[in-house]
Amino acid sequence: MSKFEVERERVVNNLIASGILKTPSVIRSMRLVPREEFVSAGMKSHAYIDSPLPIGSGQTISAPHMCAIMNEALRLEVGHRVLEIGAGSGYHAALVAEIVAPSNVNSKKWGHVYTVEIIPTLAFSAEKNLEKTGYRDRVTIINSDGSKGYPEKAPYDRIFVTAAAPDVPQPLIEQLKPGGILTIPVGGPYMYQELLLIEKSATGKVTTKSICSVAFVLLRGKYGWKDV
């Protein structure tokens, strides 16, 4: 095992021991996706510290435990079509791709991840990172304002947002399939943020629960934060 693989295994085992990681497909994805390939060259030695790390443009790659919490809450399945808002480094998109379109499953059964990034340079680097790690065929990167969702490929089985919004953007609810799940941090700068789990029933009824308190960078764009 390489040094990175040993460190990755340690993080995964800690997340299992703490009860955050439970589902075999979520655990498997965290064992396979190399986080060191999604951080900048100078940050590689920090890749398996379980915290966010800077990725440029004032943004961060999420901590492994935060990706684990969200991916457990999403109840992802092979074949799901998933929308992410906030591609950042592409790491979280790769984890989800490994769950909905696993490397060891026939590609005919694969789902797909659409990930939207508002900052052009980050959309470009996310694409490069996904290419070099072999996820480019299962993830589509879109450079636009994801606070409005991505209606072109809607509806989605699952939607997750990795930047904190002032409120839940209505277009995201509309772009969720009946039976779908959305996770989104809601709250602002210097204040309490809550990770919400929103479920749309088969009949279209929407229910909201809080998962935990969190600290994310801010969602920008039409339904995001302005002037802060």
Q: Does the bond joining 155 to the residue before it have cis omega, within 30 degrees of 0?
A: yes
For ligand SAH, which is the closer residue by CB, 122 or 176?
122
Size of interface with ligand SAH, in residues (CB under 6 A): 25
**Cβ–Cβ < 8 Å for 118, 58:** no
Q: What is the C-alpha to C-alpha distance for residues 34 and 49, in angstroms, rounded to an integer?
A: 13
The answer to the question of residue 219 lying near ligand SAH (CB under 6 A) is: yes
The answer to the question of residue 214 lying near ligand SAH (CB under 6 A) is: no
Which one of residues 99, 116, 130, 214 is an interface residue with ligand SAH (CB under 6 A)? Answer: 116
**Cβ–Cβ < 8 Å for 140, 100:** no
Q: What is the C-alpha to C-alpha distance for residues 217 and 163, in angstroms, rounded to an integer?
A: 5
Q: What is the C-alpha to C-alpha distance for residues 111 and 5, in angstroms, rounded to an integer?
A: 27
Residue 62 is among the residues annotated as catalytic for this protein: yes
Catalytic pick among 18, 25, 40, 62: 62
The answer to the question of residue 91 lying near ligand SAH (CB under 6 A) is: yes
Binding region for ligand SAH (CB under 6 A)? 59-62, 85-86, 88-89, 91-92, 116-119, 122, 145-147, 162-163, 217, 219-221, 224
Active site residues: 62
